[in-house]
Amino acid sequence: MVYVVIVYDMEADRTHKMLKFLRRYLTHVQNSVFEGEVTAGTLAEIKSGIDDLIESGESTIIYRIGAEKMVDRTVFGDDPAADDQFL
């Protein structure tokens, strides 16, 4: 397993496509930011899907971290990744 943080910058009228795609795999934590733990195979699927969605002038960055326990994560305010946030 690998922990990833993905950030993207797309045309405003197209962001819903990336949002819908990444929600299948990761937790949506900010407007254009997702994070979570995935397998190497799932990460390959995500990369392929992103490559299919991105158009000229848009970008996506994937930060790959060895494991979630290696992340020093500090949240100010409500944590959208907290399990108790979801019904």
Taking CA atoms, 1 is separated from 4, 41, 68, in Å, by 10, 9, 9
Residue 27: per-residue pLDDT: 95
Q: Could you state, in order of their start, the residue ranges of all structural domains in the chain?
A: 2-69
* Cα-Cα-Cα-Cα dihedral sign, residues 20, 18, 10, 39: positive
Average pLDDT, the chain: 89
Residue 83: per-residue pLDDT: 58
Distance from C-alpha of 25 to C-alpha of 44, rounded to nearest angstrom: 12
The model's pTM: 0.84
Residue 86: per-residue pLDDT: 44
CATH top-level class of 2-69:
alpha beta
Over range 56-81, report the average pLDDT: 83
Residue 84: per-residue pLDDT: 47
